């Protein structure tokens, strides 16, 4: 009888340990999901702010973003997200590279709206405006590519480890 109780208690302890391991594994998967989705969310935040942002007259004259705290905050969060992406996604996914290209295009678009566009006239303005439009189009085209690249990492249904 004593041996049977020991075996039963050992079996219960093994089941509890197994459940704790599976729970820890699920927590890790959920944490990865949340961090990866946060990168996507910060990217969208920057894109939404960039669409409506126009520099103030003081910003055009000072080459700063002192009157655009939302843009500064979104840009800082995006930079952090793009740096984190290199650790959270495979190199083969191309996500980190895509985010770097988006960042370069966003910086160029901000620079055009704040620094370049207001100072140019005529043919020079037309040429630079065309580059600006190409960059904005590339940024907007990158969003669906980012979604496609992140899909396998953000498929919540595929993340569950509690399958029998």
The answer as to whether 1 is a domain residue is no
The answer as to whether 86 is a domain residue is yes
The answer as to whether 99 is a domain residue is yes
Domain that holds residue 44: 32-159
The answer as to whether 140 is a domain residue is yes
Number of domains in the chain: 1
- Which tokens belong to 148? 């496609």
pLDDT in tens, 72-93: 999 999 999 999 999 999 999 9
Residue ranges in the chain whose pLDDT is less than 70: 1, 156-164
The answer as to whether 8 is a domain residue is no
Report yes or no: 91 and 98 within 8 Å, Cβ to Cβ: no
User: In terms of pTM, does the model score above 0.75?
Assistant: yes
- Residue 14 is predicted with a pLDDT of 86
Cα-Cα-Cα-Cα dihedral of 82, 88, 92, 93, to 10°?
A: -70
Check the CA dihedral 75-85-144-111 and report its sign. positive
The answer as to whether 18 is a domain residue is no
The answer as to whether 94 is a domain residue is yes
- Residue 1 is predicted with a pLDDT of 65
The answer as to whether 5 is a domain residue is no
- Residue 164 is predicted with a pLDDT of 44
Neighbours of 97 (CB within 10 A): 15
Report which of 37, 28, 31 is spatially closest to residue 151, judged by C-alpha positions: 37
Report which of 68, 72, 46, 74 is spatially closest to residue 55, judged by C-alpha positions: 68
């Amino acid at each position: 009888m004593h041996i049977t109780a020991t075996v039963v208690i050992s079996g219960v302890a093994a089941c509890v340990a197994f459940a704790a391991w599976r729970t820890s594994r699920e927590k890790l998967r959920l944490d990865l999901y949340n961090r990866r989705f946060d990168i996507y969310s910060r990217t969208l935040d920057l894109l939404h702010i960039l669409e409506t942002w126009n520099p103030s007259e003081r910003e055009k004259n000072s080459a700063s973003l002192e009157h655009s705290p939302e843009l500064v905050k979104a840009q800082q969060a995006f930079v952090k997200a793009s740096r984190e992406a290199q650790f959270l996604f495979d190199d083969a996914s191309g996500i980190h590279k895509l985010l770097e290209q988006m960042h370069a295009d966003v910086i160029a678009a901000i620079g055009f709206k704040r620094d370049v566009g207001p100072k140019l006239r005529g043919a020079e303005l037309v040429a630079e405006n065309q580059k600006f439009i190409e960059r904005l189009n590339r940024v907007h085209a990158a969003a669906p590519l980012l979604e496609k690249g992140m899909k396998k990492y953000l498929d919540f249904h595929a993340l569950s480890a509690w399958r029998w």
